[in-house]
């Protein structure tokens, strides 16, 4: 049976033409008629009592338009009846959703009169309203509480969608400032949430109404252009659909074919992003085929029929039936070339899929057979995934900055999705633009934390590689790997960002504890007494933001405890000598003599006391390790800076700093780990990265700090940062690496 360009028979047309607020009895009759039509098992008595309660509670209230206030909750209840059909409890809660907020009645009154289920939904709706009244929408708390309320009962959010939809339909009576705030809030929050719930029609109408308010000129121009060409488009769709309908009828398939409406805001977005005029957009022509069948295979049969009649565009085929979208949406999408050479988008789905596309999560709601008023959720993996996503976002929100949380929610709500596979063929859905690091954290937080690289479709790729739908990703891990600050820039998913920040914060706290303990031990050894306030002032003058940052620097090794104590002593001595005459200039010879008395780890050649204490630090440009030939350069603030004699900085500055150079040797009793970099190049082949990391770790259980690999053509180039005890340790790692098949060069990295 074919119905072209038609819809299901409409009911309740009186409601569309009726002016509400003129006669309460007529208003109630329309509500009950709609409830009976769309919710056959609705408790009519319950709805009737709620209507009268609503009218009485709001009898003193008037809307900005001058209408009795009860007409607003009534319209919200009608939307819940017809456009997001839920259950009678939802209709009752919609009628009462503003009672607690705007009238003298309390939540307890609602509970006593209509039960705890209705009261809980009304309470949730009231809390969301309070949030939006008291806060700017850019604040993260808004999103968090919005999500929290959804977890408690999804009907709260569905009623808020209906509430916002009616407010947007009647927005013209508000002031310009309130219109813009409401429209922006709708575009930022409600439309994306409606999309996630699969409420396509609600989302599109919210976007169009917001677009109309925020950019009226563009809205009117586009609407005028579309109206001008409407008859031609409708004639084209009729001509295009005719042979498809004939073939479907031949196969005894019951169906409905209609022109799929294109929404103004989505057209406008495409015109802006693609830089095209309206007549250049090919997908203004679109039809939807809805099959009255329970067999999903009929959709593929219909696709075959369409493809026989018109030439399909292969890259425009999307199978959302086998792999539904994250919000549960299912359909076949294809684009074909018409006899006139125009591209036409065709969507094919069953009636059940269409109902879900129109009503989203609400389509999962049904009545228990035993009772007329209670409702439950159909067992659904889609719904379970939804609940898990919501809880994950809320529970992992932590105390992030508002901007960060706002950004991650926008990404999660708005971005297109890509479909990625594990090596075992398991499917993972990520936002477009996701990287292997996002994928690793999607698998498990520990997999993400220990990720040192990835292979996409068998090829090694850098961690910031952008994944595409269909990629198969294998994550390579090392138990010695830990996240670094650069990872926050690489990942885009909320889950990955949150885990990285948590791990980095935990590591920093550990470094602070280690640094504090080392400092206190050193201070005790030197009989140095500094209270917290004085130490805070001193470290601030040394350019540290706080004592925590100072201790973290000691704990991480970027500042030695010997250097730290010398700097603090120097600051204290300057403070106590502030009233004394200025000292004589501090000559290099005097500094050198002083340094001989403070040596540790390396010592100045000619000094007969190898263990004498010296204020020194290791240059990051060449990362010297025990066994390297080294030279010292006297600096201001860092004592003697230790360089390798082959360091390019030393070579370039040799003449300029000659007077400040001292010859150094390593103290053989020195123990510890030193950072070194290894540059490796070779053939890009399966298993190469795993062999490299295994070879490094096999030498004295070497700790790998980080791995950065870039591959191009059939070659790769990588930098491995490790901790070694001396140059002999490093040499043995070099030997191991050179024995790996396909390795071309292994050399010390300087940079």
- Residue 562 designated active-site: no
Q: What is the mean pLDDT of residues 496-513?
A: 87
Question: Which one is predicted more confidently, 615 or 7?
Answer: 615
pLDDT in tens, 401-425: 334 444 444 445 445 677 788 888 7
Q: Residue 258: pLDDT above 50? A: yes
With bands split at pLDDT 50, 70 and 90, how would you rate the model's confidence at 197?
confident
Q: Tell me if 602 sits within 8 A of 665, measured CB to CB.
A: yes
Q: Which of 2, 167, 195, 184 is nearest to 75 (CA)?
A: 167
With bands split at pLDDT 50, 70 and 90, how would you rate the model's confidence at 371?
very low
**Backbone CA torsion sign across 168, 171, 172, 177:** negative
User: Would you state the pLDDT for residue 264?
Assistant: 87
Q: What is the mean pLDDT of residues 243-262?
A: 85
User: Would you state the pLDDT for residue 405?
Assistant: 43
With bands split at pLDDT 50, 70 and 90, how would you rate the model's confidence at 400?
very low
Q: What is the 3-state secondary structure (H, E, C) of 418-432?
A: EEEECCCCCEEEEEC
- Alpha-carbon distance 125 to 128, whole Å? 5
- Alpha-carbon distance 342 to 345, whole Å? 10
With bands split at pLDDT 50, 70 and 90, how would you rate the model's confidence at 226?
confident
User: Would you state the pLDDT for residue 195?
Assistant: 79
For the ranges 263-277, 363-377, 385-399, 625-639, the maximum mean pLDDT occurs at 263-277
Q: Which of 83, 125, 70 is nearest to 101 (CA)?
A: 125
User: For the chain, what are the domain ranges?
Assistant: 18-214, 226-363, 674-748
- Alpha-carbon distance 262 to 462, whole Å? 40
CA angle 141, 130, 415 (to 5 degrees): 45
**Percentage of the chain exceeding pLDDT 70:** 77
Q: Exposed, middle or buried: residue 382 (CB in 10 Å: 0-12, 13-18, 19+)?
A: buried
- Alpha-carbon distance 140 to 154, whole Å? 20
User: Would you state the pLDDT for residue 595?
Assistant: 38
User: Would you state the pLDDT for residue 737?
Assistant: 92
- Alpha-carbon distance 422 to 444, whole Å? 12
User: Would you state the pLDDT for residue 607?
Assistant: 46
Question: Which one is predicted more confidently, 429 or 435?
Answer: 435
CB neighbours (10 Å) of residue 530? 16
DSSP 619-657: -TTT---BTB-EEEEE-SSS-EEEEETT-HHHHHHTTTT
- Alpha-carbon distance 475 to 443, whole Å? 9
- The number of angstroms, rounded, from the C-alpha of 485 to the middle of its chain's C-alpha atoms is 17
The SS3 call for residue 669 is coil
pLDDT in tens, 62-84: 888 888 989 999 999 999 888 88
Out of 14, 45, 61, 101, the active site residue is 101
Q: Which CATH number fits domain 674-748: 3.40.50.300, 3.40.50.150, 2.60.120.510, 3.30.70.260?
A: 3.30.70.260
Question: Which one is predicted more confidently, 276 or 474?
Answer: 474
DSSP 83-145: TS---HHHHHHHHHTTHHHHSS--HHHHHHHH-HHHHHHHHHHHHHHHHHHHS-TTSHHHHHH
Cα–Cα distance list, 53 to 18, 56, 206, 665 (Å): 22, 5, 29, 91
Instruction: Tell me the average pLDDT of the chain.
Output: 77
Cβ-proximal residues to 250 (8 Å cutoff; 6+ apart), any chain:
none
CB neighbours (10 Å) of residue 230? 10
DSSP code of residue 10: P
**Percentage of the chain exceeding pLDDT 90:** 19
DSSP code of residue 466: P
User: Would you state the pLDDT for residue 262?
Assistant: 67
The strand pairing partners of 226, in sequence order, are none
Comparing 60-74, 129-143, 456-470, the range with the smallest average pLDDT is 129-143
User: Would you state the pLDDT for residue 76?
Assistant: 94
Comparing 118-132, 317-331, 589-603, 736-750, the range with the smallest average pLDDT is 589-603
Q: Exposed, middle or buried: residue 560 (CB in 10 Å: 0-12, 13-18, 19+)?
A: buried
Q: Which of 222, 334, 235, 343 is nearest to 285 (CA)?
A: 343
CB neighbours (10 Å) of residue 345? 19
pLDDT in tens, 707-737: 777 776 678 888 888 888 888 899 999 999 9
CB neighbours (10 Å) of residue 44? 14
- Residue 102 designated active-site: yes
CA angle 151, 375, 148 (to 5 degrees): 10
User: Would you state the pLDDT for residue 536?
Assistant: 81
- The number of angstroms, rounded, from the C-alpha of 124 to the middle of its chain's C-alpha atoms is 25
The separation between the first and the last C-alpha atoms of the chain, rounded to the nearest angstrom, is 74
- Alpha-carbon distance 211 to 219, whole Å? 7
**Backbone CA torsion sign across 208, 210, 216, 218:** negative
User: Would you state the pLDDT for residue 92?
Assistant: 93
Out of 67, 102, 549, 673, the active site residue is 102
Q: Tell me if 91 sits within 8 A of 44, measured CB to CB.
A: no
User: Would you state the pLDDT for residue 138?
Assistant: 47
Q: Which fold does the domain 226-363 belong to in CATH? A: Beta Polymerase; domain 2 (3.30.460)
The phi and psi torsions of 319 (rounded to 5 degrees) equal -105, 85
> Which CATH number is 18-214 given?
1.10.3210.10
Q: Residue 472: pLDDT above 80? A: yes
Q: Tell me if 79 sits within 8 A of 165, measured CB to CB.
A: yes
Here the contacts of 454-463 (C-beta below 8 Å, separation 24 or greater) are 455/686, 455/689, 458/686, 459/684, 459/711, 460/684, 460/688, 460/689, 460/709, 460/711, 460/716, 461/436, 461/709, 461/711, 462/708, 462/709, 462/710, 462/711, 463/435, 463/436, 463/437, 463/487, 463/490, 463/708
Q: Residue 358: pLDDT above 80? A: no
With bands split at pLDDT 50, 70 and 90, how would you rate the model's confidence at 166?
very high
User: Would you state the pLDDT for residue 643?
Assistant: 87
Q: What is the mean pLDDT of residues 533-559?
A: 81
- Alpha-carbon distance 76 to 94, whole Å? 6
Q: Residue 142: pLDDT above 80? A: no
pLDDT in tens, 560-610: 888 888 888 777 766 544 433 343 333 444 434 433 333 345 666 544 434
Q: Residue 391: pLDDT above 70? A: no
Q: Residue 186: pLDDT above 80? A: yes
Q: How many residues are there in the chain?
A: 751
Q: Residue 660: pLDDT above 60? A: yes
Output the pTM of the full model: 0.52
Q: Which of 457, 458, 430 is nearest to 442 (CA)?
A: 430
User: Would you state the pLDDT for residue 670?
Assistant: 58
Here the contacts of 686-693 (C-beta below 8 Å, separation 24 or greater) are 686/455, 686/458, 688/460, 688/716, 688/740, 688/742, 689/452, 689/453, 689/455, 689/460, 689/476, 689/718, 690/476, 691/740, 692/718, 692/720, 692/737, 692/740, 692/743, 693/452, 693/476, 693/478, 693/720
Q: Which of 306, 307, 333, 336 is nearest to 321 (CA)?
A: 333
Q: Tell me if 400 sits within 8 A of 498, measured CB to CB.
A: yes
DSSP code of residue 397: -
Q: Tell me if 683 sits within 8 A of 459, measured CB to CB.
A: no
For the ranges 51-60, 317-326, 395-404, the maximum mean pLDDT occurs at 51-60
DSSP code of residue 664: E
pLDDT in tens, 634-659: 876 556 888 888 888 787 777 777 77
- Alpha-carbon distance 355 to 199, whole Å? 10
Q: Residue 370: pLDDT above 50? A: no
Q: Exposed, middle or buried: residue 212 (CB in 10 Å: 0-12, 13-18, 19+)?
A: buried
The phi and psi torsions of 211 (rounded to 5 degrees) equal -60, -45
Q: Tell me if 402 sits within 8 A of 135, measured CB to CB.
A: no
Q: Residue 218: pLDDT above 70? A: yes
Mark residue 735 as left, alpha or beta (left: phi above 0; alpha: psi -120 to 50; beta: remaining).
alpha
């Amino acid at each position: 049976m074919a119905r072209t360009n038609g819809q299901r028979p409409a009911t309740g047309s009186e409601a569309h033409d009726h002016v509400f607020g003129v006669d309460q009895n007529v208003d109630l009759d329309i509500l009950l008629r709609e409830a009976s039509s769309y919710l056959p098992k609705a408790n009519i008595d319950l709805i009737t009592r709620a209507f009268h309660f609503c009218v009485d509670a709001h009898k003193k209230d008037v809307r900005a338009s001058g209408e009795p206030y009860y007409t607003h909750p009534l319209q919200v209840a009608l939307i819940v009846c017809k456009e997001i059909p839920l259950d009678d409890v939802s209709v009752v809660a919609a009628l009462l959703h503003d009672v607690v907020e705007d009238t003298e009645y309390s939540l307890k009154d609602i509970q006593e009169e209509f039960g705890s289920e209705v009261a809980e939904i009304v309470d949730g709706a009231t809390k969301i309203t309070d949030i939006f009244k008291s806060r700017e929408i850019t604040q993260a708390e808004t999103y968090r509480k919005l999500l929290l309320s959804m977890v408690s009962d999804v009907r709260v959010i569905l009623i808020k969608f209906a509430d916002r939809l009616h407010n947007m339909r009647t927005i013209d009576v508000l002031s310009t400032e309130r219109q813009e705030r409401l429209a922006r809030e709708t575009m930022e929050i409600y439309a994306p949430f409606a999309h996630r719930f699969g409420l396509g029609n609600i989302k599109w109408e919210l976007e169009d109404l917001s677009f109309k308010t925020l950019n009226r000129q563009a809205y009117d121009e586009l609407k005028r252009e579309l109206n001008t060409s409407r008859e031609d488009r409708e004639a084209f769709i009729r001509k295009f659909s005719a042979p498809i309908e004939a073939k479907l009828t031949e196969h005894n398939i019951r169906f409905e074919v209609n022109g799929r409406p294109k929404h103004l805001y989505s057209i406008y977005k495409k015109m802006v992003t693609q830089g095209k005029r309206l007549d250049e957009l090919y997908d203004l022509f679109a039809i939807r085929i809805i099959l009255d069948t329970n067999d999903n295979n009929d959709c593929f049969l219909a696709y075959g029929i369409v493809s026989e009649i018109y030439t399909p565009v292969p890259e425009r085929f999307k199978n959302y039936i086998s792999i539904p979208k994250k919000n549960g949406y299912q359909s076949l999408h294809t684009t074909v070339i018409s006899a006139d050479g125009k591209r036409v988008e065709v969507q094919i789905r069953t009636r059940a899929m269409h109902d879900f596309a129109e009503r989203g999560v609400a389509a999962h709601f049904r009545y228990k057979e035993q009772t007329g008023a209670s409702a439950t959720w159909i067992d659904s993996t889609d719904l379970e995934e939804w609940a898990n996503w919501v809880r994950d976002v809320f529970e992992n929100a932590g105390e992030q900055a508002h901007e960060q949380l706002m950004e991650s929610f926008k990404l999660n709500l708005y971005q297109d999705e890509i479909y990625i596979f594990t090596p075992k063929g398991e499917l993972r859905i990520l936002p477009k633009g996701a990287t292997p690091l996002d994928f690793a954290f999607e698998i498990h937080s520990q997999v993400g934390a220990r990720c040192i690289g990835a292979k996409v479709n068998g090829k090694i790729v850098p961690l910031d590689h952008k994944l595409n739908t269909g990629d198969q990703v294998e994550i390579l891990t090392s138990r010695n790997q830990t996240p670094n600050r650069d990872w926050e820039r690489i990942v885009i998913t909320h889950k990955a960002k949150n885990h990285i920040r948590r791990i980095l914060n935990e590591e920093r706290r550990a470094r602070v504890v280690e640094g504090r303990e080392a400092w206190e031990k050193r201070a005790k050894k030197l009989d140095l007494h500094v209270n917290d306030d004085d130490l805070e002032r001193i470290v601030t003058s040394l350019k540290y933001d706080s004592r925590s940052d100072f201790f973290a620097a000691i704990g991480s090794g970027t500042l030695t405890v010997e250097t730290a104590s010398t700097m603090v002593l120097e600051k204290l001595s300057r403070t106590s000598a502030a009233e004394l005459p200025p000292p004589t200039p501090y000559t290099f010879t005097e500094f050198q003599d002083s340094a001989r008395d403070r040596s540790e780890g390396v010592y100045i050649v000619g000094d007969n006391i190898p263990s004498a204490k010296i204020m020194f630090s290791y240059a990051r440009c060449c990362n010297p390790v025990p066994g390297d030939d080294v030279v010292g350069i006297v600096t201001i603030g860092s004592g003697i800076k230790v360089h390798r004699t082959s360091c390019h900085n030393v070579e370039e500055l040799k003449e300029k700093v000659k007077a400040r150079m001292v010859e150094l040797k390593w103290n053989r009793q020195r123990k510890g780990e030193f950072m070194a970099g290894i540059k490796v190049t070779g053939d890009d082949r399966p298993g190469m990265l795993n062999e490299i990391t295994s070879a490094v770790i096999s030498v004295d259980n070497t700790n790998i700090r980080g791995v950065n690999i870039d591959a191009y053509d059939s070659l790769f180039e990588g930098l491995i940062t490790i901790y070694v005890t001396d140059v002999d340790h490093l040499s043995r790692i070099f030997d191991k690496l050179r024995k790996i098949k396909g390795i071309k060069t292994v050399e010390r990295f300087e940079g």
